[in-house]
Structure 1
């Protein structure tokens, strides 16, 4: 655990030394602030407080196809390109300690970004009476959603040393998972649809991100299967990344 903590501290320090680490939250806060003000102003008399409350974390999860690759693209790709990955791997630590430490640092930074949007929840509580359960479900789900997406995009940072390629592939992966329920609906509506197609459509839907957030946790419905889905995605992403790093280490 000490090695995980050491890697975690190193990555957190690297995150907050970069000007980009402050530019991203500034840009997001400004963007969400303008959007929140416009939404409240236009819908103050019409939209329920719960709808506005879940709007920010919901939009945040959608934008993760852009944000998550930016947070993970350099974590391993940069180490590989600069040749420091092989040096770090000679230290007395297991590969998964190294991967988990980097992942936790990225997840912490994401948590900070998400937490900044809580200011809008506070404002909404002053001007409306949103449902606390829905608000908790939306933010808790967005937090788990972010962890799962970061773990998935981290895979591509291990695959290639080109950060741009890693970011592009990561964004594509997130979009595929986000659009899974649309693909499932298309599958289910195919001509000559049979029971087999229905099963395939349901499997595709359950693999998607929206089925476990947009239609459940974002509505305040916290199900064990949704929590387990995000945990599984995190474990799977970290496992695959670790295997890739191990193979690269053996080859070197």
Structure 2
């Protein structure tokens, strides 16, 4: 494990527990090789964006920003985790686990607190934090690419199927085309594969043959959609537009032999249900 730290009194552990199987379902840590390289020009932008930041593998100690020395440690997964919000789904018949995840990095700067303020949640989160950090010049600031370009190589979100009987990854697919990236003026003429990045905060729903998952983009009008994947292969089979973005994991139920899929969406919020035509 990396041992270097600029925090007075900090002694990083020489080892950290980590599983040897299954393999990570998304990227961990950041190196120069992980920076986006769609074109030489964009690669150079990414190199400039990370100047002054500490890069390294998982468990690299967080640096406190010191002017002229370091701007902090670039951490991946970010503080919200790669899969820490939406949750996963497991098939009890096959023993396959389906995990949606995101590929992002963040910087959490460390600074010396004011002993008079105390170490409370109010101190570490929310509006008061911004005011206190501003006075110390330590507002959280991750590397910024110009004009909304991505900093890292894709995919920016994915769905991974893991056979927990063996620990092997069965398949993974990017979740979404990533049109908000590929439509960028510097990217729109490139022949790019699906980039992902359309993941939301919802988890996947499993049926006997399908995996249902809601994306934030890619609908017929560019808006959110609900997608049906073949759960055995990850192939996208169909999708339906959503009135607004999903804010919860879908559920399914039967009424008089007819199957429905229901979910909560924003913009209201409200509950919507879908079903195949009765004919």
| Same fold at TM > 0.5 | no
More helix by percentage: 1
TM score, norm. by length of structure 2: 0.28
More strand by percentage: 2
TM score, norm. by length of structure 1: 0.30
Structure number with greater Rg is 2
